Structure 1
Amino acid sequence: MPPVTPALWPVAGALVAALGSACLTRRLLAYRGKPGASWLALTLGSQAVFCGVSGVALLVADPGLRWLLESATWTALSCQVVAFLAFGLSYSGRGHLTETTAFRALYAYPVGTAVLLAVRPDLVWPTFRVERMMGLATVEYTSTGVGGTLVVAGLFLVALTTAMLLDTAVNYSLYRAESVAIALSAIPPAFAEAAWLLELGPYPQLNLVPIAFIPHLLADGYAVLRTDIFEYNPTTRRVVDATALESLESPLVVVNENRRVINLNTAACRVFGVTESAALKRPLDDVVGAAVDLDATDRTLATRVDGEIRQFAVAPSEHADATGTPVGYSVVFQDITAQRRREQRLDVLNRVLRHNIRNDLNVVQGNLGLAREAGADPVDGSADSGAAADGGRDARLATAERHTAELLALAEDARAVDALLDRTNAPREPVRLERAVAAGVDAFDGDLPVEVAVDGDAVVETDPALFETMVTRLLVAVDEHADGGVTVGLDGGRDGAETGSGGSYRLEFRAGTAFPADQVAAVEAGAETPLNHTTSLDIWMVAWGAELVGCELSFDGAATATLRIPVDGA
């Protein structure tokens, strides 16, 4: 039989693919340091080796040398798919996964392939022979389960990488062209590999994978040379998306359309006292501990954080899909406690100081004027009339002096308010309630008789100095309206102890007289008005101090005033 002239097109196609892959690999070296660039260079470098060796092997009929070349193509292809996966991870913003033990275990795939083919090729190819086809030296071998597993594993890694790139294209339109190009580039070689594995076509021994890398190369060349694949890549966007929640110091909770939590940041876990796993899938109201109306115009809520009642402004942002259908909300809880306290303090100080200063100064001015007139115009020259004039003048001066002293006391109260609110971060410590109440009573210098009836075993965690100030100021406020004495005692034992929680104590101030309704209304509303206002800063200092130490001040029930004090300060 006359010799058959080799059909050189498969060889030429493989060498063209090898040359193009090598050139593109060199071009990629300029992008070293960019996410995924080095891995893509390794991918195309392995591809160049695979295609070049495959093209040369088609011209080699010696069985021993042909076996070495075939082993080299399998090893190069196994290196390529692992590098391709690493490129997909790095380029899509998941590069940290290439540093994990799980990914490094994949290095065993190309290493194991090379070792098997070198040491025990019979486990991969039980039979191996060179067959002439169209004048080319093709090989035919029976693949075992091990060999089939190696091929299927490579196809799986390619499919996984393709899925990641398509996911990037769907989620980040800025990188769609290059992501789609590289993702689709894997399809022709994958089909050619599957056709060879299943022995499809008129020449099943002829492996067309090297030629199928030509469209693969064209797609990769478009992505590298015609797009900004490494100038702008999804890594930045994905990293920003991943860290956006944690970068916020404010609590942020993401809920679905049914208002159930699907994500939250560390600040939200800390503020609302939950773990991420415990919060997921729960209703937003349950996690926050209060009803959150995402449709209201003025959204605020109060909750206890580290034993202190904090105020939050609720700012939801609705998310919708491409059709405009709402799919959920991102809800930011902005801590406005300090702002609210400043506003409330300014409002109260402005009204109280303005009202009291004006009234007291009017009294001082009037009495000083009358005293001056009494001293300048005696009724007659008798001793009795002079003594009467002196007595009237002295009484008016005493009145002026008393109101001046009240103004000085008010100024001191204003200074005390500043000192009080500066104790926001004061440390708390276990305190015997009886001792703290007694210290507050000792600091009270009013005429009101005070009886203390507090269990000596009751212990709470609080700021001792602030709590004692609250007791003193509350007694001063009660003294303005009480007719008799006041009893400071506990209403029963510790609440909540049976539930396993820290519980709380109710400290009651009983004077037999209720606070005026207008003062109670002002404190409960958190603002003073011309109709509802207090006569001093004392009751406000108690209310503000209660917020700082996590107490609750109330005026309902039989007691004149009640402080609910958490045992553990929480």
Structure 2
Amino acid sequence: MIGEPAAVWWALLLAVGLGYLIVAYRSLAVWDEPGGELFSGLGLAIGLGALVGAAGLQLGDTHQWSLLSIFSETSVLLLPVLWAGFAARRAGANWLTRRRASLLTAGIVLATIEFRVAGALVRGTPESAQTFNLELVLAVTVPMMITYLFSSSLIVVGVALLVKQTLEYEHLPGTPVAAVAVGVLGPWVSTWLAKQVAEMFDPTNALIVMTMGYGVGFVGFALSYERYGLFAESAAAGTVGRNRVIATMDDTVIVVDDERRVLDINPAATELFEVSVDDVAGRPIEAVVDDDLSALRSSDVVDLVTGIGPREFEPTVSTVTGPDGDHLGYSVVLRDVTERRNREQRLSVLNRVLRHNLRNEMSIVSGYADMLVDRGDKAVNDEIADEIAVTANELVELGEKARVVEELMAEPPTTSEETAIRVVASEVVEEIEEQSPDCEFDVQIPGDLTVGANPRVLRPIVANLIENAVEHNDAADPRVEIRATREPGAETVSLTVVDNGPGIPDQEREVLESGDVTPLEHGSGLGLWVSKWGAKRLGGTLSLAAAEPRGTVATLRVPESLPPSAQASLATS
């Protein structure tokens, strides 16, 4: 219980505590600003510490195990955690995450409780035995000594961060930073001084020291927010520009040293290539991507295998230098250009095929029309009319293929339900059989084999592969085999269409595989291009090979299922 002379100081301490709480409440308006929530937390912790400390003095609380005493001391010990977090957020250095702050808080609370328990045990030990009971002495001193030292280091770190940001950014005034530092350091320092004064003199002097420290601190804390506009400007954006933009980039970023060993990768690389920093740190860059640094530097576009299938990237390799210009390593930025190149390729193929075929086919129609005028023979005219009809139908089919391309690219790659491959293939075969009754079909697909692909995307892929195998088959007994299996250990389903026709010309196969449409020849249609683009749409691949003794083997490989991130990426094509 405090005496009458100290009542004024006690009332002032209560008023200061309430003042801190009021500023904390008002600062909720800047909760979303960098460090805003931690500024409110500082005001709350300091205000409650003052009120609880004043209550303990008024009640004559001298028992070291008292909940009031533990709460008061814990609130002061937590100030450095909140202070360091506030300074880090203001400077844009987000190393003190909520999880880490929670762990630090829990450690401080436990250390405080352990200190009180051990202290009670020491006081309960006979004085003659205390000298020799080293374990109890260590149990009292070591945990709190470590806690005090760590708390002090956090205070220093917070001050250093704010001083550094003020010096680095000339547009930031130093007054608000100095004021908020006083607002935190005043209560923190005065609390430790008050403990020493209480032990050396009396509680009244300790109350005076504590009230003066809290009072000076409150003036600084209130002015920093109410008058000096602490949250009017922040260096966080500038620091984030240096430290966080790379972490939030959609492009893949890999940093390697002079020996081409990986130092760091950003979250985009982690997600896309399904590796973590711990997995690849210290390993060659090939641990992340398929190519080495020299290949990346010399290539305009590289094909790399990712967690969502093969993708195309534009690599940019830059030299990383230190403050003195010394060479430290390289940064590699990989920009995913798959969708852009797919669009460019589709436009190029459609333009070339449509222009070329329209010109040639319409020349045929025009020539036959002239023949109809010149000839009066009905039999000949009927034959010419049939050729015109066939050519016109080919043009209609070409236009239909172009429409299929447009619709296929507009569909999402996956659906919520699994697609049975046998059902899709059987439906396609049934339709083609009506038009090609002489062709023998052999479908060997397990009934339970499914994929997560959208059937409206998968069906035109399969249909064009089977149609191509039938239309160009010149064998006496045309035959088409359709097989599908789940590749072991690869989480991939492969569908193979094998025919016994003449095979695809090497040049045309190379064009389809490379994507280079410059040498596209007369007679190349859109069917296999539809299948190729559809395969990419599903995160898969299409490969063509010669069959023995003759014919073509077309193999479609698609993921059995795609993770949500991959679905979102492919859905933007």
TM range (shorter): 0.5 to 0.7
3-state DSSP class of the match of 2:413?
coil
How many Å separate the matches in 2 of 1:421 and 1:442? Answer: 23
Partner residue in 2 for 1:32: 27
Q: 1:320 to 1:167 in 2, by over 3 A?
A: farther
1:133-176 Cα offsets, whole Å, 9 max, x none, are: xxxxxxxxxx9656645762453243231354156348754479
Partner residue in 1 for 2:132: none
Q: 1:98 to 1:474 in 2, by over 3 A?
A: closer
In structure 2, give the amino acid aligned to 1:80.
V
Match of 2:498 among 495, 509, 512: 509
Asked whether the 8 Å contact 1:46–1:79 carries over to 2, the reply is yes
In structure 2, give the amino acid aligned to 1:322.
P
How many Å separate the matches in 2 of 1:414 and 1:562? Answer: 24
1:173-198 Cα offsets, whole Å, 9 max, x none, are: 447957799889969x989979x99x
Partner residue in 1 for 2:554: 563
Return 5+ residue gaps in structure 1 as ranges: 1-13, 57-64, 128-142, 198-203, 376-388
How many Å separate the matches in 2 of 1:124 and 1:458? Answer: 80
In structure 1, give the amino acid aligned to 2:545.
F
Partner residue in 2 for 1:470: 464
Partner residue in 2 for 1:414: 402
After TM superposition, the structure 1 = structure 2 runs for residues 267-306 of structure 1, keeping only pairs within 5 Å, are 268-274=269-275, 278=279, 283-288=284-289, 293-296=295-298, 298-303=300-305, 305-306=307-308
Match of 1:526 among 492, 515, 533: 515
3-state DSSP class of the match of 1:100?
helix
3-state DSSP class of the match of 2:543?
strand
In structure 2, give the amino acid aligned to 1:168.
L
Q: 1:149 to 1:237 in 2, by over 3 A?
A: farther
Match of 1:162 among 131, 155, 162: 155
Q: 1:532 to 1:561 in 2, by over 3 A?
A: same
Q: CA deviation at 1:446?
A: 6.2
How many Å separate the matches in 1 of 2:306 and 2:63? Answer: 73
1:511-562 Cα offsets, whole Å, 9 max, x none, are: 3523223322322231422564653222322322333452422235645332
In structure 2, give the amino acid aligned to 1:352.
V
Q: 1:368 to 1:411 in 2, by over 3 A?
A: same
How many Å separate the matches in 1 of 2:517 and 2:157? Answer: 61
Q: 1:406 to 1:147 in 2, by over 3 A?
A: closer
1:353-383 Cα offsets, whole Å, 9 max, x none, are: 11111112122222222322335xxxxxxxx
Length, aligned pairs only: 504
Q: Is residue 2:402 matched to residue 1:401?
A: no
In structure 1, give the amino acid aligned to 2:496.
L
Asked whether the 8 Å contact 2:535–2:557 carries over to 1, the reply is no
Identity over aligned pairs, percent: 17
1:185-238 Cα offsets, whole Å, 9 max, x none, are: 969x989979x99xxxxxx96999999999999999889868764444567778
Partner residue in 1 for 2:528: 539
1:297-326 Cα offsets, whole Å, 9 max, x none, are: 6234343655x5444444567655433444
Asked whether the 8 Å contact 2:179–2:223 carries over to 1, the reply is no
How many Å separate the matches in 2 of 1:176 and 1:477? Answer: 77
In structure 1, give the amino acid aligned to 2:480.
V
How many Å separate the matches in 2 of 1:438 and 1:457? Answer: 15
How many Å separate the matches in 2 of 1:224 and 1:322? Answer: 39
In structure 2, give the amino acid aligned to 1:563.
A
In structure 1, give the amino acid aligned to 2:255.
V
Return 5+ residue gaps in structure 2 as ranges: 1-8, 29-35, 90-95, 129-135, 562-573
3-state DSSP class of the match of 2:536?
helix
In structure 2, give the amino acid aligned to 1:32.
S
Asked whether the 8 Å contact 2:503–2:546 carries over to 1, the reply is no
1:41-79 Cα offsets, whole Å, 9 max, x none, are: 4677699899999xx9xxxxxxxx99899x999996764
3-state DSSP class of the match of 1:323?
coil
Q: Tell me how large the CA RMSD over aligned residues is.
A: 5.8
How many Å separate the matches in 2 of 1:546 and 1:149? Answer: 65
How many Å separate the matches in 2 of 1:99 and 1:342? Answer: 48
After TM superposition, the structure 1 = structure 2 runs for residues 114-513 of structure 1, keeping only pairs within 5 Å, are 122=123, 148-149=141-142, 152-153=145-146, 155-165=148-158, 168-169=161-162, 172=165, 173-174=168-169, 229-233=230-234, 250=250, 252-257=252-257, 258-260=260-262, 262-265=264-267, 268-274=269-275, 278=279, 283-288=284-289, 293-296=295-298, 298-303=300-305, 305-306=307-308, 309-314=310-315, 320-324=321-325, 325-326=327-328, 329=331, 331-334=333-336, 336-375=337-376, 389-427=377-415, 428-432=418-422, 436=425, 439-440=428-429, 442-443=431-432, 449-453=438-442, 455=444, 457=446, 460-462=449-451, 463=455, 465-476=459-470, 478-479=472-473, 482=474, 484-489=476-481, 497=488, 500-502=489-491, 505=494, 507=496, 509-511=498-500, 513=502
Q: 1:50 to 1:520 in 2, by over 3 A?
A: closer
Match of 2:85 among 80, 83, 89: 89
3-state DSSP class of the match of 2:297?
coil
Asked whether the 8 Å contact 1:301–1:312 carries over to 2, the reply is yes
Partner residue in 2 for 1:552: 542
Asked whether the 8 Å contact 2:45–2:75 carries over to 1, the reply is yes
In structure 1, give the amino acid aligned to 2:288.
V
Q: 1:470 to 1:281 in 2, by over 3 A?
A: farther
Structure having the higher Rg: 1
1:422-443 Cα offsets, whole Å, 9 max, x none, are: 444244524349x826843751
3-state DSSP class of the match of 2:555?
strand
In structure 2, give the amino acid aligned to 1:156.
L
Asked whether the 8 Å contact 1:372–1:393 carries over to 2, the reply is no
Partner residue in 2 for 1:60: none
Q: 1:397 to 1:225 in 2, by over 3 A?
A: same
3-state DSSP class of the match of 2:375?
helix
How many Å separate the matches in 2 of 1:74 and 1:467? Answer: 71
How many Å separate the matches in 2 of 1:431 and 1:66? Answer: 78
Partner residue in 2 for 1:381: none
How many Å separate the matches in 2 of 1:106 and 1:343? Answer: 60
TM-score by length of 1: 0.65
Q: CA deviation at 1:413?
A: 2.3
1:310-354 Cα offsets, whole Å, 9 max, x none, are: 4444456765543344455363543x4333332222211111111
3-state DSSP class of the match of 2:421?
strand
Q: 1:228 to 1:309 in 2, by over 3 A?
A: same
Asked whether the 8 Å contact 1:35–1:91 carries over to 2, the reply is no
